Amino acid sequence: MTPPGRDRLRELLDAVLDEDNRTLTDMAGDAYASPFHFSRQVSVGAGESPVALRRRVVLERAAWQLRQGASVTEVALAAGYESVEGFSRAFARAYGRTPGSLATTGDGGVRARDEHWLPAPNGLHFHPPSSLWVSDEPVRRGGDEVTALLVHHGVEDTRALLELAKGLPDEEYRRVRTPGLSVLAWSGTEETLAAVLDELVWTLEVWVASIEGADTPTRGADDPAALLDRHDAVAPRWLAAVREVSRRGAWNDRLVDALCEPPESFVLGSVVAHVLTFSAHRRLLARHWLRAAGVAVDAGDPIEWLSRRDR
d(CA 254, CA 268): 6
Shared domain for 149 and 44, answered yes or no, is no
Handedness of CA 78, 130, 59, 23 (dihedral sign): positive
**Count of CA atoms in the C-beta half-sphere (13 A) of 52:** 23
Out of 141, 165, 197, pick the residue that ends a domain.
141
On whether residue 90 sits in a domain, the answer given is: yes
In this structure, which amino acid lies at residue 89?
A: R
On whether residue 3 sits in a domain, the answer given is: no
DSSP alpha helices (H): ranges in 178-301?
193-212, 224-248, 268-292
Shared domain for 175 and 271, answered yes or no, is yes
Shared domain for 51 and 151, answered yes or no, is no
Predicted local confidence at residue 144, as pLDDT: 74
Which of 102, 35, 30 is CA-nearest to residue 64?
102
Predicted local confidence at residue 179, as pLDDT: 95
**Count of CA atoms in the C-beta half-sphere (13 A) of 157:** 27
Shared domain for 124 and 178, answered yes or no, is no
Shared domain for 124 and 78, answered yes or no, is yes
d(CA 164, CA 42): 35
Residues 23-42 have pLDDT tens digits of 888 888 888 888 888 888 88
- CATH code assigned at 96: 1.10.10.60
Shared domain for 122 and 22, answered yes or no, is yes
Shared domain for 211 and 270, answered yes or no, is yes
Predicted local confidence at residue 142, as pLDDT: 46
259 backbone φψ class: left, alpha, beta (φ>0; ψ -120 to 50): alpha
Shared domain for 137 and 159, answered yes or no, is no
d(CA 219, CA 302): 29
DSSP string over 170-187? HHHHT-BSSTT--SSGGG
In the predicted model, residues of the chain with pLDDT beneath 50 are 1-6, 105-112, 137-142
Cis ω before 302 (30° cut-off from 0): no
Cis ω before 4 (30° cut-off from 0): no
Shared domain for 158 and 122, answered yes or no, is no
Pairing of strands 254-257, 264-267: antiparallel
- CATH code assigned at 275: 1.20.120.450
User: How many structural domains comprise the chain?
Assistant: 2
On whether residue 190 sits in a domain, the answer given is: yes
Boundaries of domain holding 81: 8-141
Shared domain for 305 and 233, answered yes or no, is yes
pTM for the predicted model, two decimal places: 0.65
Predicted local confidence at residue 106, as pLDDT: 47
Q: What SS3 state is found at 143?
A: coil
On whether residue 269 sits in a domain, the answer given is: yes
On whether residue 1 sits in a domain, the answer given is: no
Report how many helices (DSSP H) and strands (DSSP E) the chain contains, helices first: 14, 4
Q: Which helix H or strand E contains 127, and what residues bound it?
A: strand 124-127
Residues 251-294 have pLDDT tens digits of 888 887 666 666 678 889 999 999 999 999 999 999 999 999 99
Which of 203, 190, 219, 100 is CA-nearest to residue 155?
203
Pairing of strands 124-127, 131-134: antiparallel
Strand partners, 132: 126
Cis ω before 262 (30° cut-off from 0): yes
Shared domain for 70 and 100, answered yes or no, is yes
Shared domain for 52 and 124, answered yes or no, is yes
Structural contact between residues 119 and 246, judged by C-beta atoms closer than 8 angstroms: yes
Predicted local confidence at residue 111, as pLDDT: 46
